[in-house]
Amino acid sequence: MASEPPSRSGSDRALALRYHATVPSARDRVLAEVDALAEETAAFTTEMVRIPTVNPPGDVYEDCARLIGGRLRDFGFEVQYIAAEGRPEHTAAHPRVNVMGVRTGEGRGPVVHLNGHFDVVPAGQGWTEDPFGGAIKGSRLYGRGTGDMKAGIASAMYAAEAIRRAGVRLPGAVEVSGTVDEESGGFAGVAYLAEQKHIAKGRTDYVIIPEPHSPDRICVGHRGVYWFEVTTEGRIAHGSMPFLGVSAIEHMGHVLEAVRSELKPALAERITEMPVDPPGARHATINVNTVEGGQSRQDVQTPCVADRCRAVFDRRFLLEEGFDRARSEVVDLLERTAARHPGLRYQLKDLMVVHPTRAPQDSPLIAALDRSIQAVLGKPATIMASPGTYDQKHVARIAGIAHCVSYGPGILELAHQPDEYIELEELTQSTRVLALTLLDLGGVA
């Protein structure tokens, strides 16, 4: 007959309870490391901001890639630099160099990829701070690309580092990449990494892109984009006798009026079920990006009737519409306009197509981020979609990964604005959320 194991005395049980109560959990240790690293996270953001990775043309990309790669190596990542060989943007003067770090896990857990672009738009006018100074004043860090999105890259890197410094080992791999050219389409950046299978279905389970959507919001997708060019053709003549020519600018005026009076009202009636923010962007929209005609690019003018006029349009279409409908609607509008105005000749050219995308509503990634946001901020996450596109389009369509969202520090409305800044508190909050999310996805309590 087996003997009964000795029972613990009341004092032993009390001692054990006190021991477990005083030993911090993995989550608590990681959060403590995030807070301890807050100043270093901000300082690294400043280092990146001071490298003016302006796109166009794509200045000093490799300098920023090397900075990120060096820090990733310090954080225990295996690092590789991936030049976009074969892409027309990748030139000797402006090489397109991406960086990617991989830190393997202990077992067979999920692979989580954190991606951010380090190219920034030109500074423009109207700044009261040095756009590439990275100055910290009060609670804010100023500079071009702070929110969009060098702070997001720092947040991702230091979330992973906080886990390492806390002595926590994840079962799966954590990957961090810094990529180029998002502001001009991302084709030499995330698209290239996806084409080369660095980010791919079957090797990558989840992708988080820390774009500036604020610490309490998860961005699950975006509308579609159809950029197209319309060129109207006329006949040149002397400007003193315009009746002998045909003005391509006047013909473009008919096209623009048709867009304004026919297409725009129709689009305003359509609304998506996606939670696009701001609410006005839940409607289908069209914008005229550029109009140029005649001798618009010449300093010295001569008296001529314009024989050519060109306009570029930005059509944002909804998940419910689809690209085929959006394009056929433009074709029909142009044909109707030409029929109403004899002699109107035009050419239509497709410039760029980005299809809408949305992560699955029941994605484990969204659920993990929501739990982490509640743990850090004490409230549920707001689920939203972006009015513009970002690199999720390439993750979804080229890499084939559905479980991709955007989550990161910063205020979206400040992107591309003068005196762009990041709130330091939001930087720390987002880093805490990302760190907890990595633990959650890895099954670490």
Query: Using 50, 70 and 90 to split pLDDT, how confident is the model at 1?
Result: very low
Give the pLDDT confidence of 264-293 residue by residue, as tens digits.
999 999 999 999 999 999 999 999 999 999
The string of DSSP codes covering 9-64 is PHHHHHHHHHHHHHSPPHHHHHHHHHHHTHHHHHHHHHHHHTS--BTTTTTTHHHH
Tokens standing for residue 276 = 């696009």
* Domains of the chain by residue range: 25-222+356-441, 224-354
Distance CA 357, CA 27 (A): 32
Distance CA 414, CA 343 (A): 46
pTM of this structure: 0.89
Region 121-145: mean pLDDT is 98
Region 191-216: mean pLDDT is 97
Supply the pLDDT for residue 17: 53
Q: Which residues pair with 225 in a beta bridge?
A: 316, 354
Region 398-409: mean pLDDT is 98
- The mean-pLDDT minimum among 106-110, 198-202, 235-239, 280-284 falls in 106-110
Supply the pLDDT for residue 276: 96
Supply the pLDDT for residue 300: 85
Query: Using 50, 70 and 90 to split pLDDT, how confident is the model at 23?
Result: confident
Region 138-158: mean pLDDT is 98
Residues in the chain: 445
- The three-class DSSP label of residue 342 is coil
Supply the pLDDT for residue 10: 59
Looking at 3.30.70.360, 3.40.50.2020, 3.40.50.300, 3.40.50.360, the CATH number of the domain 224-354 comes to 3.30.70.360
Does 6 score more than 70 pLDDT? no
Superfamily of domain 25-222+356-441: Zn peptidases (3.40.630.10)
Tokens standing for residue 171 = 């079962």
Does 19 score more than 70 pLDDT? no
User: Which helix (H) or strand (E) element contains residue 207?
Assistant: strand 206-209
Give the pLDDT confidence of 293-321 residue by residue, as tens digits.
998 777 788 899 999 999 999 999 999 99
Region 114-142: mean pLDDT is 98
Residues 6+ apart with CB under 8 A from 134: 45, 46, 47, 48, 49, 50, 141, 142, 143, 146
Give the pLDDT confidence of 334-367 residue by residue, as tens digits.
999 999 999 999 999 999 999 999 999 999 999 9
Distance CA 106, CA 168 (A): 10
Region 189-212: mean pLDDT is 98
Supply the pLDDT for residue 11: 60
Region 99-111: mean pLDDT is 95
Q: Is the peptide bond before 274 cis (omega within 30 degrees of 0)?
A: no
Q: Cβ(51)–Cβ(60) under 8 Å?
A: yes
Identify which of 81, 64, 98 has the alpha carbon closest to the alpha carbon of residue 191.
Answer: 98
Q: Cβ(31)–Cβ(166) under 8 Å?
A: no
Give the pLDDT confidence of 29-47 residue by residue, as tens digits.
999 999 999 999 999 999 9
> Matching CATH topology for 25-222+356-441 and 224-354?
no
The label of the residue with tokens 């003068």 reads 418
Amino acid at 121: V
Q: Cβ(256)–Cβ(281) under 8 Å?
A: no
Distance CA 213, CA 190 (A): 19
Give the pLDDT confidence of 50-66 residue by residue, as tens digits.
999 999 999 999 999 99
Tokens standing for residue 152 = 């997001």
The string of DSSP codes covering 244-295 is GSB-HHHHHHHHHHHIIIIIHHHHHT-B-SS-BSSGGGGB-EEEEEEEEETT
Query: Using 50, 70 and 90 to split pLDDT, how confident is the model at 445?
Result: confident
Region 149-170: mean pLDDT is 98
Supply the pLDDT for residue 3: 47
Supply the pLDDT for residue 18: 56
Q: Cβ(111)–Cβ(205) under 8 Å?
A: yes
Quote the mean pLDDT of the chain: 95
User: Which helix (H) or strand (E) element contains residue 141?
Assistant: strand 140-142
Higher per-residue confidence, 163 vs 22: 163
Does 21 score more than 60 pLDDT? no
Distance CA 353, CA 228 (A): 9
Q: Cβ(222)–Cβ(426) under 8 Å?
A: no
